[in-house]
């Protein structure tokens, strides 16, 4: 069909970007595998493969790199999903209460039983994250005037309220330090056996890709979704669950990581538009790349010590957030 | 046939639509008119299951809209609301393609592509198909949404004030298009209109609402009358016969 040639070229542009991002993720992953406190280099595997090298690689380096990739991809996709559910591009799990609710869940788990089984902790934290996210969306529904800027403000207020609740409880039980660790994620403690929960995030990321069309329709609003025969309420619940499972697995494994879910989807949406089907793979790849870069920088800046990824992400992310706000200011007005 | 029985909608204590029973036959263009707050949009939303009803029932070809599965109904009836301002940046073609969702669930077949091309053609949107919605004028954007519901290819097409924000030329284009959809494709078009002269010139059947109730219904000849319209809108109105069309004048009376 000649009439669709130009749309095909938009599609090709997205495809090209996606391939480029995939290559970037591979290169960054190799760099990540090659970096660490130990002097082990990947090349040693070929030249002088010994026990120590393979042990460092499989016990520490590989788990860390895989964890970074899965967490970055998952968080970016969770951000995109949340933007569709809230119908606002200025939100992500870290600014709507999902993370704050998840770290409240961590606090509950520590209070109930510090040695709680991982799966039980995961369920508890996921439930808290889902309740927090749902509370945000429920508040949004009751706000009559939904200007583009009010939505993220509501989220930030809710986040702050939940966080101060956690802070109060934590200080009563002397868990303040643990709470701070959950709130500022980093991957320095990732070893084999301590990141596998992130495969749940990976599963949700793939599910989001499969349901991309449906979530784009959700982003068009309830009437639009109902008109094309989509069960709006069911998809909202599913979307909240997916965001919450991703967030909970990241918070339990590494701690909260801000701005990945905000910055990455916004950059990708600016490049390829808002049709999730065109952008979601790119979002996942760029999320992974950003996470890998943040972690690499954190490891290299004050080598052999580490700056937590969350700190670097907060600095870069908040700057990009401001740029996004300024660029869109006509739109928000 | 669309059949509404004793349909009511209550928001808190306020009855927005009250005990409306009506039948809209298959085929042709039906216009719903009435002053602001008459309950036109709410009636249309209840018929299309976007707004739950407080009482009564709606059947589309015998299917109860509240009990028929969403995807099934989406192949029979499409609805375009008045406020469909989305903040999503979609290309016109992508938007129109979502009209095929009930048929293909997102996996577009060659037949779907054909429907999309046809809908773009039908609304003269070919040259804009790769533009994003936010790059279009109000009229073009409105046409893109109408193309989407056309692409959905349902027997019943419901539109809430599709002439809003578009100039006279596009308004005439739009009404001619709806007329053609009814005449050539056998669609049943139900449209909420503020401009009663468009209702008069293009519809087969007019439903007039006031205060949440069905006030009058009939052919344009039957409804387009001085005394009916004056009472409906509570201002003096005069209907004139011009070129075989009944045109109502109300801009400056007396």
Complete domains list, chain B, with CATH: 1-76+194-254 (3.40.50.300)
Q: Quick one: average pLDDT of A56-73?
A: 93
With 80 as the cut, is the pLDDT of residue A216 above it?
yes
Share of chain B above pLDDT 70, in %: 98
With 80 as the cut, is the pLDDT of residue A213 above it?
yes
With 50 as the cut, is the pLDDT of residue B233 above it?
yes
pLDDT at A228: 95
Q: Measured between alpha carbons, how far is A141 from A214 in angstroms, rounded to an integer?
A: 20
Complete domains list, chain A, with CATH: 13-328 (1.10.3470.10)
Please state, in angstroms and as integers, the Cα–Cα distance from residue B79 to each residue in B40, B93, B120, B154, B157, following that order: 14, 19, 18, 10, 6
Name residues whose C-beta falls within 8 Å of residue A50's C-beta, 6 or more positions apart in sequence: A44
Nearest beta carbon to residue A226 from set B70, B80, B152: B70
Q: Show the tokens assigned to B21.
A: 């029973």
pLDDT at A173: 93
Instruction: Convert the pLDDT of each residue in B161-175 to its tens digit.
Output: 999 878 898 899 999
Contact between chains at A227 and B88 (C-beta distance less than 8 A) = no
Q: Show the tokens assigned to B166.
A: 């578009």
Among the listed residues B10, B72, B25, the one whose alpha carbon sits nearest the alpha carbon of residue B182: B25
With 60 as the cut, is the pLDDT of residue A115 above it?
yes
Contact between chains at A221 and B86 (C-beta distance less than 8 A) = yes
The distance from CA B6 to its chain's CA centroid, rounded to whole angstroms, is 21
pLDDT level of residue A298 (50, 70, 90 thresholds): very high
With 60 as the cut, is the pLDDT of residue B201 above it?
yes
- Contacts with A, B 147-176, CB within 8 Å: 149, 152
Q: Which of A25-39, A97-111, A201-215 has the lowest mean pLDDT?
A: A25-39
pLDDT at A42: 76
Burial of A301 (0-12, 13-18, 19+ CB in 10 A): exposed
Among the listed residues A234, A252, A241, A236, the one whose alpha carbon sits nearest the alpha carbon of residue A204: A241
pLDDT level of residue A3 (50, 70, 90 thresholds): very low
pLDDT at A147: 78
Q: Quick one: average pLDDT of A258-285?
A: 94
With 60 as the cut, is the pLDDT of residue A330 above it?
no
Q: Measured between alpha carbons, how far is A29 from A27 in angstroms, rounded to an integer?
A: 5
pLDDT at A4: 43
What is the secondary structure of A50-100 as a DSSP string?
-HHHHHHIIIIIHHHHHHHHHHHHHHHHHHHHHHHHHT-TT--GGGTTHHH
- Contacts with A, B 108-127, CB within 8 Å: 113, 117, 120, 126
Q: Quick one: average pLDDT of B105-110?
A: 88
pLDDT level of residue B70 (50, 70, 90 thresholds): very high
Share of chain A above pLDDT 90, in %: 68
Give this complex's ipTM. Answer: 0.92
Tally Cβ neighbours within 10 Å of residue A111: 13
**B182 and chain A in contact, CB less than 8 A:** no
């Amino acid at each position: 069909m000649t009439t669709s040639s130009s749309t095909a070229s938009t599609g090709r542009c997205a495809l090209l970007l996606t391939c480029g991002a995939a290559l970037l993720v591979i290169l960054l992953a190799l760099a990540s595998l090659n970096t660490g406190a130990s002097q082990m280099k990947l090349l040693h595997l070929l030249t002088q493969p010994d026990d120590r090298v393979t042990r460092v690689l499989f016990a520490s380096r590989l788990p860390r790199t895989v964890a970074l990739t899965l967490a970055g991809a998952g968080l970016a996709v969770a951000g995109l999903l949340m933007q569709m559910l809230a119908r606002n591009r200025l939100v992500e799990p870290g600014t709507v209460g999902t993370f704050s609710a998840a770290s409240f869940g961590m606090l509950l788990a520590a209070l109930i039983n510090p040695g709680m089984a991982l799966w039980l902790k995961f369920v508890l934290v996921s439930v808290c994250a889902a309740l927090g996210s749902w509370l945000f969306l429920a508040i949004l529904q009751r706000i009559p005037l939904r200007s583009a800027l009010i939505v993220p403000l509501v989220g930030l207020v809710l986040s702050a309220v939940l966080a101060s609740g956690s802070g109060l409880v934590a200080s009563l039980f002397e868990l303040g330090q643990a709470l701070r660790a959950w709130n500022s994620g980093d991957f320095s403690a990732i070893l084999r056996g301590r990141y596998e929960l992130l495969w749940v995030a990976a599963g949700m990321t793939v599910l989001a890709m499969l349901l991309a069309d449906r979530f784009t329709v959700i982003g068009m609003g309830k009437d639009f979704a109902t008109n094309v025969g989509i069960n709006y309420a069911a998809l909202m619940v599913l979307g909240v669950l997916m965001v919450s499972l991703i967030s909970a697995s990241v918070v339990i494994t590494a701690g909260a990581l801000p701005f990945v879910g905000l910055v990455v989807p916004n950059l990708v949406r600016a490049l390829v538009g808002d049709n999730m089907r065109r952008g979601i793979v790119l979002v996942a790849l760029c999320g992974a790349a950003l996470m890998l870069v943040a972690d690499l920088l954190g490891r290299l800046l004050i080598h052999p010590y580490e700056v937590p990824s969350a700190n670097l992400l907060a600095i870069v992310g908040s700057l990009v957030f401001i740029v996004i706000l300024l660029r869109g200011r006509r739109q928000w007005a | 046939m669309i059949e509404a029985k004793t349909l009511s909608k209550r928001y808190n204590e306020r009855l927005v639509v009250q005990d409306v029973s009506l039948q809209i036959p298959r085929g042709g263009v039906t216009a719903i008119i009435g002053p602001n707050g008459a309950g036109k949009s709410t009636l249309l939303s209840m018929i299309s299951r976007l707004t739950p009803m407080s009482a009564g029932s709606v059947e589309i070809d015998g299917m109860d809209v509240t009990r028929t599965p969403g995807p099934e109904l989406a192949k029979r009836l499409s609805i375009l609301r008045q406020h469909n301002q989305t903040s999503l940046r979609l290309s016109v073609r992508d938007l129109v393609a979502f009209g095929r969702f009930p048929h293909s669930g997102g996996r577009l077949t060659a037949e779907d592509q054909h429907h999309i091309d046809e809908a773009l053609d039908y609304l003269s949107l070919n040259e804009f198909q790769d533009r994003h919605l936010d790059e279009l004028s109000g009229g073009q954007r409105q046409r893109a949404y109408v193309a989407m519901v056309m692409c959905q290819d349902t027997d019943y097409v419901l539109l809430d004030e599709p002439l809003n924000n578009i100039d006279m030329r596009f308004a005439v284009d739009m009404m001619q298009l709806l007329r053609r959809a009814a005449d050539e494709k056998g669609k049943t078009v139900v449209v909420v209109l503020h401009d009663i002269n468009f209702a008069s010139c293009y519809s087969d059947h007019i439903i007039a609402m006031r205060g949440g109730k069905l006030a009058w219904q009939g052919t344009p000849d039957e409804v387009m009358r001085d005394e009916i319209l004056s009472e409906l809108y509570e201002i003096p109105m005069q209907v004139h016969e011009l070129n075989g069309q009944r045109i109502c004048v109300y801009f400056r009376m007396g």
